[in-house]
């Protein structure tokens, strides 16, 4: 009998707020966690963190969407990384909550569209805790979360044998001028926004706390209350 059938969460989600983590290190942490799950030796994880300034290009990214010059990148100390996630180009940096779920969608959640919709729902619930009314991107707009005509969160995922990596990025107090160096998500004319720009003051860690609680709720997991930096 599945968790959904019993109404009882039987899996543990270990949520951790890690603070500022370099992009390559975050990829390593995800790869190791996925390997442990694939080999039956690890719990599911939700890594919540911030990155130093970096542009990441997904598998579908058009290199022409990186419009910043080398001089601009150097002056702002922005690195550029290619990734195996889906989606286009985006920005990660201080003041942005990045979430990397390493989940096993076997056996009953093997539906990519459902997974993306679940991530959008979690972010919408999180923003509602801070008095912000957000909407999902699918089906009429690209995946992500929007407030009016502006995008506040991006989503890009990777699945291997139904184990997830990569995830989402929610602008809390992000310096939005860094999006000037790219065509965000490959969408010409898209405007980005943040919680701070919309008048809601919160720290990234405060938002991470609410996000982890909603994550456990939506995916029907027991939240590991011992994990550093996350309160239940």
Residues known to be catalytic? 185
Token digits of residue 56: 């990441």
DSSP 149: T
Instruction: Give me the DSSP letters along 57-113.
Output: E-TT--GGGB---HHHHHHHT-EEEE-SSSS-EEEE-TTEEEEEEE-B-TTT---HH
Give the C-alpha separation, 44 to 134, whole Å. Answer: 27
103-109 long-range CB contacts below 8 Å, 24 or more apart? 103/13, 103/44, 103/163, 103/164, 103/219, 104/11, 104/37, 104/44, 104/162, 104/163, 105/159, 105/162, 105/163, 105/164, 106/161, 106/162, 107/2, 108/2, 108/3, 108/4, 109/219
Task: Work out the number of other CB atoms within 10 angstroms of the CB of residue 1.
Answer: 7
Round to whole Å and give the CA distance between 175 and 30.
26
């Amino acid at each position: 009998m599945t968790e959904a059938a019993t109404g009882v969460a039987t899996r543990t989600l270990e949520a951790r707020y890690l603070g500022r983590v370099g992009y390559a290190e975050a990829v390593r942490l995800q790869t190791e966690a996925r390997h442990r799950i694939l080999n039956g030796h690890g719990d599911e994880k939700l890594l919540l963190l911030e990155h130093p300034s970096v542009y990441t290009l997904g598998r579908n990214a058009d290199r022409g969407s990186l419009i910043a010059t080398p001089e601009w990148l150097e002056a702002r100390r922005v690195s550029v990384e290619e990734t195996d996630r889906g989606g286009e180009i985006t920005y990660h940096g201080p003041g942005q909550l990045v979430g990397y779920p390493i989940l096993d969608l076997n056996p009953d959640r093997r539906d990519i569209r459902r997974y993306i919709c679940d991530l959008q729902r979690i972010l919408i619930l999180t923003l509602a805790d801070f008095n912000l009314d957000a909407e999902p991107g699918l089906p009429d707009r690209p995946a992500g979360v929007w407030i009016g005509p502006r995008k506040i969160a991006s989503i890009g995922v990777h699945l291997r044998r139904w184990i997830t990596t990569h995830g989402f990025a929610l602008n809390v107090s992000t310096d939005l001028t860094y999006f000037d160096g790219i065509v965000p998500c490959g969408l010409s004319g898209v405007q980005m926004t943040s919680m701070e720009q919309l008048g809601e003051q919160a720290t990234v860690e405060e938002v991470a706390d609410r996000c982890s609680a909603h994550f456990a709720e939506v995916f029907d997991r027991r939240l590991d209350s011992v994990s550093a930096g996350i309160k239940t």
